[in-house]
Amino acid sequence: MKIFYIKKQKLRLLITILVLAIFAMIFYNIYYKNSEETFKEDIYYKGNIDEKVIAFACNVDWGNEYIPEMLSIFEKEDIKITFFVTGKWAEKNEKLLKNIYSYKHEIGNHGYAHADYGKLNYDDNLREIKKCHEVLNNILNMECKYFAPPAGSFNDNTIKAAEELNYDIIMWSIDTIDWREDSTQDKIINRVLTQAENSAIVLMHPTKETIKALPVIIQTLKEEGYDIVKVGQVIK
């Protein structure tokens, strides 16, 4: 009887542990895993359309001298892309911003200052995104809905702030790394063309080497059957 009693106690202990483990897994799936998936469902590293489309996203906080030529290339090729601009840049370059917008390019929010949003608290994230939104609205009379955090840096506070302001967070699947001093036309071309895929988002900046690379990238992508579009056109 004594042996049976010990085994019975162990069995009860095992059952208790098993039940607790099951409840812990259920709790995790409901309150953590599911909420995390929902929480991050509006962060796009690429689009979600299974078609031969590729979005170009140009982040702007400098490089004014290259933007007119970039616009000329896109106009010649009948291409519309998305320019993510900072609020500070927009305030200092209203005429250039309006020119970009006049070509029917999509304008996105790049934050008011080119800061490290991954290190900001919720209030600061909210303020920076909202301030840029207001600047762009005042200049262009339009409502942005896509936010590209500078350097791709964000945290949970950024996600919460973007969600509060009805923004989707836009990252990228192809990085030209065209801002680096060792960047070259050939390197940019290679990075884009070797990673091209349906609904890819290509990150670029207004630089001298990017201007050199664009004609080859555009021509090759078109030959491969891709349409080059705005970020909003690869997201549904």
Average pLDDT over residues 80-96: 98
- Per-residue confidence band for 33, with pLDDT thresholds at 50, 70 and 90: very low
C-alpha to C-alpha distance for 27 and 21, rounded to whole angstroms? 10
Q: Return the pLDDT at 36.
A: 41
Q: Comparing C-alpha atoms, which of 118, 121, 100, 132 is closest to residue 206?
A: 100
- Per-residue confidence band for 154, with pLDDT thresholds at 50, 70 and 90: very high
Q: Give percent above pLDDT 70 in the chain.
A: 83
How many CB atoms within 10 Å of residue 39?
13
Query: What is the per-residue pLDDT across 156-182, written as a single tens digit (0 to 9) for each?
Result: 999 999 999 999 999 999 999 999 999
Q: How far is CA 97 from CA 22, 24, 132, 165, 189, in A?
A: 56, 52, 13, 22, 27
* Residue 229: strand, helix, or coil: strand
Average pLDDT over residues 124-129: 98
Q: Return the pLDDT at 3.
A: 47
Judge whether residue 52 has pLDDT over 90: yes
Q: Supply the mean pLDDT for the chain.
A: 90
- Per-residue confidence band for 26, with pLDDT thresholds at 50, 70 and 90: low
The partner residues of 57 in beta bridges, in order of sequence, read 82, 203
Instruction: Flag the least confident range among 7-16, 101-110, 142-151, 191-200.
Output: 7-16
C-alpha to C-alpha distance for 198 and 196, rounded to whole angstroms? 7
Q: How far is CA 202 from CA 83, 172, 178, 209, 232, in A?
A: 12, 6, 11, 15, 13
Q: How far is CA 166 from CA 36, 49, 146, 230, in A?
A: 18, 21, 9, 19
Judge whether residue 106 has pLDDT over 70: yes
Q: Return the pLDDT at 10.
A: 61
Judge whether residue 115 has pLDDT over 60: yes
